[in-house]
Structure 1
Amino acid sequence: MQSQFKQRVLGAVLACALPPATAQSADQQEPTTLPAVTVSAAADTGASLNPSVEQERRRLARIPGGTGIALPQEEGKLATLRDVLGHQPGVTVQDWFGSFDAPRLSIRGSGIQSHPASRGVAMLMDGLPLNEADGSYVSSVLEPRNAAQISIRRGANARSPGNEALGGEMDFQSLTGREERGRVRLEAGSFGQQAWQAAVGTVGERFDGRISVSGDRYDGFRHHTNGERDSLQANLGYRGESGFENRSYFAWTDLAYRIAGALPMSRAYGDPSQIMGDGNTAQDRLSNLYRRNPHRNVRQTRLANRSLWGNDALRHELGLWWQNADVEEQNPVRASLWGSDTTGAQWQTTGAPNETLRWRVAAAWSGSDIDRDFYAISPQIGALLQRFGSFDLSARNAHLSAGLDIELAPGWTLVGDIKWNRVERDVKSRSTTAALDREWSYATPKLGVVWKPAANLRTYANLSRSHEAPTFDDLVVTSVSMSNPAQASASLVPLGVQRATTVEVGAEGSLGSGAEATRWQLSIYRSMVDDELIRTTDAAGVSVGTYNYVGGTRHQGVEAGIDGGFRLAGNAFEYRASWTWSDYRFRDGEFAGNRIAGISRHFVNAELLYLADGWRVGPTLRWQPLDEPTDHANSSGYAQKRYALLGLRAEYRNGPWIVHVHGDNLTDKRYASSISVTDRSTPTQMLLFPGSGRSISAGLSYTF
């Protein structure tokens, strides 16, 4: 089955890449200056497989909702996803162990407890999904060092035809040979952190290409968190006649890291570097992680191709992708070994017959075939014991969408979209007769309006629906006794689709100009969610299952950001800050009125930098101002305590050279960076993941 998928998608990608070869032959006979015309058109319309930052900003300005752009190459330190996404309003990044291990990503409360395979946000690489067809993804395979920009469309503001999740989407746009000829990067820091990257690019009249190799090593602040990651990414692009573009992409990632696990409250704040097994209590002896050896190994290979052709009146884009993943994920009581093949295709056509009308239609299909085996774990040596579950998993998705932008009056644009979706999740046991076949069909409409009363001010409002089908991590549940691994079983849970209706209003704009301009954005949203997918853990912090909450939930919040520059007493400064307020509650049912645990109600990221002769130096702040519950019952006496982390950022840029030094948590604050949420907790339960202590890192980058 897997080899058939590989042959099918490789053939499709090669077929898609053939037209450039034909065009090249013609170009050799008749040289032309059309590339200059193509670049000019892209600058005017934003029609390019690799839009510039300004082109992407113009695209996002047509969306009636909250969006953002992160620029990784403007950040000195790029060791983790938080380094590049931490200042984005509305984006929650919760470190697990503070390195390239899979951090929790959430937007507007999406997939709060999905981990280590996440869901709730569509992760795109160059406009094509990175998620498996069941909606899950592994955030640790994302490499921000290779991204020119990350386009963030929060909530229903996603534009990819295959996404209808509550959280929206992030699109990592790769650097190409046209943007960077080469780079060497070295980084090192506390807790054995080491990283390196070497990239080289080339560009000609028609073709360009880039290849990058990188590596990361980490010993860890906490015991049993060492890991390593190696990545290779490459792309080859072609620009032909009449606006034709084609680009092929290759990505390979091999990563492995050990897992420290959660701690009870007293130990998380007493000695945060320890793990279960460092003490001499009965709980330590039972949960000894040195012996049980929880860890995660992931190897993923990805091949994709995109083509773009046409003009402003009628433009087409075709994307094809295939990826294979081999994963070994072992928690303290069981191991999950699985391999997947995912194939997909998407077609988008846009038109603009005049200046007051834009239309779009799209279709997308994706499918994943996964084989997954579950094994009990020896409490003494962490070795695999009996296999207690073996499953064939199949996910299929089909999407059709259409949209229309109509300029009602100068400055006023009405935006409407509707998507039709058919989703299938099939599970079949290879060892028993157990099976689960789930199929859903639904429409997700959206209606919004954009008003631009001035060139530097944009306001918007929208009303939308979203749907999210369960992943296989939700549908297949395991139960293993920590004291008796012979008592192990796997079962299937017939979950339903999570549905939500969201209303959003907001605005963004700027004041001033040049280096002293101030840019700001503000979005306010409210989502009424039915059958929310709630995942919980047991007393050891191990996931025990997912259920649809029948009482309904409500997600509402504010996403605000500001950045800019100013002068004071002849000195230049720049600043940026984001504030995310997340108020998520159960509307009715067992936990009526309680907060949904797992996401900070308030979170602030800020920095203020002094600028002088290539230097940028100043303090940074990460602040959670309130204690947060660790369970949905909001039990007293057990909380993720409030914290403020002070840091320092220092960078020096001189031509192709960049030198940076970063200090994090300089006061060595003891805090919990994330939580394993349960329905009801007691102080002895292992639910808190301690954050890293005081750390210093430094790096050097040279571009050529």
Structure 2
Amino acid sequence: MSATAQTATQTLPTIDVETSQQSSSVPPSLAVQTAEQALQQIQQTPGGVAVVPADAYKNNSVASTIKDILDYVPGVFAQPKFGDDTRLSIRGSGLSRNFHLRGVQLFMDGIPINTSDGYGDFQEIDPTAYKFVEVWKGANALRFGANSLGGAINFVTPTGRDANINSAGIDMGAFGYRRFQGNVGGANGPWDGFFTASNQQSQGFRDHSYGHDTRASGNIGYQFSPDFETRFYIDANDVRQRIPGSVTRTSALTDPAAAAPVNVANDWQRNIDTVRIANKTTMRFDNTTVEFGAFGVDRHLMHPIYQWLDYHYHDYGGFVRATDDRVINGYRNKFVAGINILDGTIDARQYANVGGYKGTPVSSLLQKPENYSGYAENSFYVLPNVALIAGTQYLFAVRDQQVNFSLNGDVNGRSTFSLWSPKTGFLWDVDPTWQVFGNISRSAEVPSFGESVAPNFQNPTFPTIPFFDIKAQTATTYEIGTRGKRPDLTWELTGYRANIRNELLCFYNTFGNCNVTNADRTVHQGIEAGLGAAIVKNIFVQGDGADKLWVNLAYTFNDFRFDNDPTYHNNQIPGAPRHFLRAELLYKHPNGFYIGPNIEWVPQAYYVDSANTLATQAYAIWGLKAGIDDGKYSFYLEARNIANKAYIASASIINQANLNSPLFEPGNGRAVYAGIKVRW
């Protein structure tokens, strides 16, 4: 291949790790990349992206939630609420969603985890199951048909063609935590297979936060030839979780283990059973690769809260994607185009919650979301190391609700959305270790059925807006940044500004529950900075395999504001800290031994209401971890929040709060965990 057709420079995220290679004796998978290949591909994107290899967290940490995966990805705010549940926001996405997830689309091997109306959960995510995780911020997630401000996260499982995939491990620690996990896989001629399973349980730090879950997933692949592969996926989850609930600020800081009294009295829970099946087929023709597939998801949510929610989700869809990478008249040109379909039905039934048991029926709804998106993007290399990039995405979405019976005041309704999201940018490989990028992009987010949750409770100031009158949220984002990797230095620095119309925000509430409607104009802007560096080398071991003192840092600056709003003027948008820092300092020995402290710091309290009258509290917590990993055996010991500080990890939001508003989720107290794993 000529110089003009060389791929973009391979750089690494801010985590100093070695990623596993595929076995040289087994042909690699055509459909599933290695972490190195994924990193090389994702960083041909002219915007904020990251690949987190499993070695960054899986063998040296308890790795029980999505926070453990994303801790060192700048721009991502992931904080635990209870059990596996997390408040996740990327660039201020979904801040008004006080339950579940909105604004970031989750995928497993490219198969949607979010439901077809856009809401997501974290209980189906098993951090021990993946070989790497891709983070596509904002409109940079165009390839997934992602249409949200936060972008997309894709969790990628190994195949039987990866090396050293057989493993077993045990993790135990504070608050009754224990997990057993194992993987098995291999290849035989054209066939290969991989299977992973885990069982986890915890009493939880807070009262009424006991939970246990069993998760299993696997895939079987068949290679008709080196250029033709098909792969079948299955994923199943059984999750049972008590909900301690949000409490007042005073309770969170003085009695953090206490649960909300109503949650205990009515035995609030979130229980989920899911089965996901899919097929993905990949074909390669000279300079063109075509991927296509289909999937189906059956999800049962059993959710006693203010009412007993019994929801059955049936989601299904398909996708096709073509990538053409060739030299045209001496210039490299890469063209990507695809279509995504995600449809479903939601049988949403609610009952009175009588001490955690089903009471009399309250409502029965049939909801039918539909999502059809098409996208195309072209990267033209005007120089061997400079690409000009342009693309667009079109989304057509439907939200249809039929009311069979309701005492909640639910009404029939249907809304449709037709949205274009163009994008343009550039990518400059300054040298083989350094990139500069920039883009101007559009994103669009369609509301889910859960946005207007109390249609019959009228507010005298703000009349109730039914879900079918809520508009789509759109944003134009300006982004510029740089990333790179030198032998003892990795970095990422990105600045962005998103001008948003009709942001889905909390403008009024009933019974403490935030009802979402559209703001007029808002602004999200910030800085995302990541750094990994060997600050000292050759301490006790000299030469190429020297020991080192490595610093790893992820800093996020958030400035989210209303823009001359009639009610909230230029107030800060509540729900996320203005400054967020994660950092660690590790001594690393070439034999695999490591030890060092880490810190999480929120130096400034942030508001929990749009009126900016009530805030959280600034905090800093620190921990320590040590262990050894020789590639076959690994052992770690990890201490978290060693000072046992009472702090607010996350918060729900509201329009107007007071000191009695139950909006705060305390972070865990002092905890120690240990784990051992063997790989072969």
TM-score by length of 1: 0.87
Change (3 A) 1:510 1:73: closer
1:536: Cα distance to partner? 6.8
8 Å CA contact 1:436, 1:494 repeated in 2: no
Which string of whole-angstrom CA distances, capped at 9 and with x for unpartnered residues, describes residues 447-466 of structure 1? 01111221111001100111
Change (3 A) 1:36 1:213: closer
Change (3 A) 1:189 1:490: farther
What SS does the aligned partner of 2:450 have? helix
8 Å CA contact 1:330, 1:336 repeated in 2: yes
Query: Aligned to 2:530, which of 521, 539, 561?
Result: 561
Counterpart in the other structure of 1:15: none
Whole-angstrom distance in 1 between the partners of 2:253 and 2:452: 35
8 Å CA contact 1:540, 1:687 repeated in 2: no
8 Å CA contact 1:262, 1:540 repeated in 2: no
Query: Aligned to 1:358, which of 321, 334, 337?
Result: 334
The yes-or-no answer on 1:244 pairing with 2:228 is yes
8 Å CA contact 2:209, 2:243 repeated in 1: yes
Counterpart in the other structure of 1:54: 36
Counterpart in the other structure of 1:231: 215
Q: Which amino acid aligns with 1:670?
A: A
What SS does the aligned partner of 1:692 have? coil
Change (3 A) 1:562 1:39: farther
Whole-angstrom distance in 2 between the partners of 1:419 and 1:544: 31
Counterpart in the other structure of 2:623: 647
Query: Aligned to 1:154, which of 126, 137, 155?
Result: 137
RMSD between aligned residues: 2.2
* Seq. identity, %: 27
What SS does the aligned partner of 1:431 have? strand
Counterpart in the other structure of 1:253: 237
The yes-or-no answer on 1:523 pairing with 2:494 is yes
1:363: Cα distance to partner? 1.1
Whole-angstrom distance in 2 between the partners of 1:188 and 1:450: 45
8 Å CA contact 1:540, 1:685 repeated in 2: no
Which string of whole-angstrom CA distances, capped at 9 and with x for unpartnered residues, describes residues 355-396 of structure 1? 511112211111010110122334xx3443332221100011
Q: Which amino acid aligns with 1:264?
A: T
Whole-angstrom distance in 2 between the partners of 1:491 and 1:234: 41
Counterpart in the other structure of 2:47: 65
Counterpart in the other structure of 1:283: none
Counterpart in the other structure of 1:114: 97
Change (3 A) 1:494 1:388: farther
1:242: Cα distance to partner? 4.9
8 Å CA contact 2:649, 2:665 repeated in 1: yes
Counterpart in the other structure of 2:677: 701
Query: Aligned to 2:449, which of 444, 469, 472?
Result: 472
Whole-angstrom distance in 1 between the partners of 2:455 and 2:122: 23
- How many residue pairs match? The answer is 634
Q: Which amino acid aligns with 1:83?
A: D
Whole-angstrom distance in 2 between the partners of 1:249 and 1:601: 40
Whole-angstrom distance in 1 between the partners of 2:248 and 2:453: 27
Counterpart in the other structure of 1:497: 472
Q: Is the deviation greater in 86-95 or in 173-182?
A: 173-182
The yes-or-no answer on 1:671 pairing with 2:655 is no
1:491: Cα distance to partner? 6.4
Whole-angstrom distance in 2 between the partners of 1:73 and 1:409: 35
Residue pairs, 1:548-627, within 5 angstroms? 548-550=518-520, 552-568=521-537, 570-571=539-540, 572-589=548-565, 590-612=567-589, 613-627=591-605
What SS does the aligned partner of 1:140 have? coil
The yes-or-no answer on 1:389 pairing with 2:371 is no
Change (3 A) 1:505 1:363: same
Identify unmatched segments of 5+ residues in structure 1.
1-34, 43-47, 278-287, 482-488
Change (3 A) 1:690 1:478: farther
Change (3 A) 1:445 1:221: same
1:37: Cα distance to partner? 12
8 Å CA contact 1:463, 1:504 repeated in 2: yes
Query: Aligned to 1:507, which of 462, 479, 482?
Result: 482
Q: Which amino acid aligns with 1:135?
A: G
Counterpart in the other structure of 1:321: 295
Residue pairs, 1:52-451, within 5 angstroms? 52-75=34-57, 76-77=60-61, 78-97=63-82, 99-100=83-84, 102-179=85-162, 180-277=164-261, 288-331=262-305, 333-354=306-327, 355-378=331-354, 381-431=355-405, 434-451=411-428
Residue pairs, 1:450-489, within 5 angstroms? 450-477=427-454
8 Å CA contact 2:246, 2:665 repeated in 1: yes
The yes-or-no answer on 1:545 pairing with 2:515 is yes
1:654: Cα distance to partner? 3.0
Whole-angstrom distance in 2 between the partners of 1:660 and 1:419: 45
Whole-angstrom distance in 1 between the partners of 2:291 and 2:191: 19
1:568: Cα distance to partner? 4.5
8 Å CA contact 1:579, 1:602 repeated in 2: yes
8 Å CA contact 1:477, 1:492 repeated in 2: no
Whole-angstrom distance in 2 between the partners of 1:532 and 1:234: 38
1:566: Cα distance to partner? 4.1
Change (3 A) 1:298 1:490: farther
Whole-angstrom distance in 2 between the partners of 1:545 and 1:443: 27
Q: Which amino acid aligns with 1:525?
A: Y
Whole-angstrom distance in 2 between the partners of 1:351 and 1:568: 44
Which string of whole-angstrom CA distances, capped at 9 and with x for unpartnered residues, describes residues 566-616 of structure 1? 435624222211001111000022111100100111100111111233211
Whole-angstrom distance in 2 between the partners of 1:490 and 1:109: 23
What SS does the aligned partner of 2:50 have? strand
8 Å CA contact 2:143, 2:375 repeated in 1: no
8 Å CA contact 2:514, 2:654 repeated in 1: no
8 Å CA contact 2:321, 2:339 repeated in 1: yes
8 Å CA contact 2:304, 2:357 repeated in 1: no
Whole-angstrom distance in 2 between the partners of 1:656 and 1:211: 19
8 Å CA contact 1:376, 1:480 repeated in 2: no
Whole-angstrom distance in 2 between the partners of 1:242 and 1:384: 54
Q: Which amino acid aligns with 1:191?
A: F
Q: Which amino acid aligns with 1:556?
A: Q
Which string of whole-angstrom CA distances, capped at 9 and with x for unpartnered residues, describes residues 262-291 of structure 1? 1112221111111233xxxxxxxxxx3321
Identify unmatched segments of 5+ residues in structure 2.
1-22, 459-463, 541-547
Which string of whole-angstrom CA distances, capped at 9 and with x for unpartnered residues, describes residues 166-192 of structure 1? 111111110222224411110011011
Change (3 A) 1:306 1:339: same
Whole-angstrom distance in 2 between the partners of 1:350 and 1:646: 45
Whole-angstrom distance in 2 between the partners of 1:337 and 1:375: 8
1:480: Cα distance to partner? 8.1
Q: Which amino acid aligns with 1:460?
A: F
Change (3 A) 1:431 1:405: same
Q: Which amino acid aligns with 1:533?
A: L
Q: Compare relative contact order (CA 8 Å, sep 6+) and give the higher one, 1 or 2.
A: 2
Whole-angstrom distance in 2 between the partners of 1:536 and 1:700: 49
1:36: Cα distance to partner? 8.6
Q: Which amino acid aligns with 1:145?
A: T
TM-score by length of 2: 0.90
The yes-or-no answer on 1:533 pairing with 2:504 is yes
8 Å CA contact 2:549, 2:586 repeated in 1: yes
Which string of whole-angstrom CA distances, capped at 9 and with x for unpartnered residues, describes residues 319-377 of structure 1? 2111010001222x222210011001000112123151111221111101011012233
1:428: Cα distance to partner? 0.9
Structure with the largest fraction of helix: 1
